[in-house]
Amino acid sequence: MQETQGVRKIAHDSSLPRLAGWLVLLAALALLLLVPVATFWAIRSGALQNLRDEGLAAAQSRALTLESILDRQRAVVAILADDAMVKDALREPGHKGGDAVSAKLERLRVATQSTVLYLLDARGRTIAASNWNRPDSFVGHDYSFRAYFRRARPTAMEFALGTVSGQPGLYLSHDIRDGAALLGVVVVKVQFDAIEAAWARSPNATHVTEGDGRVIITTDAARRFTLGLPASPDSLPIALPVRGTDWTVTMSVPTREARQTAAYAAGAAGLAMLLLLAMGDQARRSHRRRLRKAEADRAYRAELERAVAERTRDLSEEIRERQSAQHRLSQMQSDLVQANKLATMGQITAGVAHEINQPLATIRLLAENGQAMQPGGPVGDNLARIARMTDRIGQITDQLRGFARKPTREVGAVALRPVIEASLMLTASRRKASDMPVHLPPIPHELAVIGEQVRVEQILVNLLTNAFEAQENAPDPWIRIGVDATGDRVTLTVSDNGPGLSPQVAEQLFAPFATSKAQGLGLGLVISRDIARDLGGELTADAPVPGQGATFRLTLRKAA
């Protein structure tokens, strides 16, 4: 009996380790299954969150890009809607002013990076366009059927295919009114080919839709003008609105990489658990494995922190670039307003010069009559001085009126000496204020160039004015004008002994709106070079030399 009880006790005691072993094995199997699954979902969740954060930043950057382009183009049509030259062209539809407006629109299109700018009269017919001198010019086309013309009260926008070019683009319009009367509509077209190409280089498919769901800007040209976007189970959609429109930017971020990363991490976790269970009886080697795993975790966190820091720096740089673009847009708007003010001031100056002639002639007549009644003595001498002064004022006003006249665009032989003398007279007040001498070589009366007197004077006045302003604080200022008539070309140089041009200024000397003056517009040299090239010549600046002033060279064709 006692022996039987002892056997039962021994059997019971031996079953306990087996039971504990099965329990440990079951726990190990449970850990082997649970740890990879938990790792998979944890890593996948974190990877998806990172993809969502990165996608949101990229989508915000693309939305800001569209908002910047739209704000710039809205500002262009708003400013043109108040432009005096544009309104004059609409009031006189058959006048030659349409060509001048087209040339202005062409220059503005280049400066604002738009596709085309054009002006419609009240009936919807194009009277001026930036592509006026091209075979596919919009001038003369009727766009009264377009929504951007019919709904421009005061502004409208429409994304559609061009009837002439056949290319898709956004049309922004602004009405032009004289009081309550509609004079016409100014329109700017913007194409997004460059933006679509840049977006297409990213793995994230991007589409811009209107309020009704129609796709207008897309990295997949086959989806343009279709309604709705198909749902993709392998991507994470991110949608953001575009300020000032009913547009929505939708970007699809692929999630395959997140799943792969989670799968790799789950496999690694399962393998690690298997190794730990298989080598659980080896404490030393288990301890070494824990140390290696801890080191790997620290390296992973360090790498993750480094990647986050790099991404944060990239986002900060993108934000700074957007802020810089907004600042340049604001500066461009201010420059355009200032240019309009200067144009108005020029018109006022020309009017004053015209109106002063009649009272000036009366003063001269009265002075001559008084001189005839008092031929001698102090009174007669004073009256003679008054007559000479009226002659001098008359010469100045004649030069001002001649300089203010619109160019005739008729190119011919222009005597060089009278042009230089007229330019010096127009800038005489600036020169005398600082007592600045001008060294001028003897110029033959018969030396002439191919050009137009008003436009050649405009170039010389601009160069002389820049030379005066560059030497305002110079101790011994002077200006030297040189003439070299060699072969069939005449080169006119304007040099000064001011501080000269810095390398930074010289690089962007003829770029629109680039200026080193606090009150400058950065358009004088650009316009002067365009005039010189239009006359078959060229305007250049010598390379800057430290300690020497600036030298500009105007080369024109020599008249036979």
pLDDT digits (tens, 9 = 90+) for 14-64: 566 566 667 766 776 776 677 777 787 788 788 778 888 888 898 899 899
Any idea how long the chain is? 560
What's residue 434's pLDDT? 66
b/e for 108-140, b at 16 or more Cβ within 10 A? bbebbebbbbbbbbbebbbbbbbbbeeeebbbe
Provide the mean pLDDT of the chain: 80
pLDDT digits (tens, 9 = 90+) for 293-336: 898 889 998 988 888 888 888 888 888 888 877 776 656 655 55
pLDDT digits (tens, 9 = 90+) for 349-401: 655 655 565 576 667 666 767 767 777 677 776 776 676 566 656 655 655 55
Q: Report the C-alpha dihedral over residues 387, 388, 394, 399, rounded to 10 degrees.
A: 180
Give a three-class secondary structure readout of 90-103.
Answer: HHCCCCCHHHHHHH
What is the β-pairing status of strands 448-451 and 438-439?
A: unpaired
Of 45, 46, 167, residue with least CA distance to 115: 167
User: 7: pLDDT confidence band, cut at 50, 70 and 90?
Assistant: very low
What's residue 47's pLDDT? 78
pLDDT higher at 179 or 38: 179
Per CATH, the architecture of 405-557 is what?
2-Layer Sandwich (3.30)
How many angstroms separate the CA atoms of 35 and 33, rounded? 6
User: 173: pLDDT confidence band, cut at 50, 70 and 90?
Assistant: very high
Asked if pLDDT for residue 402 goes beyond 60, the answer is: no
Most confident of 265-279, 338-352, 373-387: 265-279
Question: Model-level pTM greater than 0.85?
Answer: no
User: 248: pLDDT confidence band, cut at 50, 70 and 90?
Assistant: very high
The CATH H-level (homologous superfamily) assignment of domain 28-278 is PAS domain (3.30.450.20)
* Backbone φ, ψ for residue 422 (5° rounding): -65, -40
Task: Write down the domain spans for the chain.
Answer: 28-278, 357-397, 405-557
- Above pLDDT 70, what percent of the chain? 79
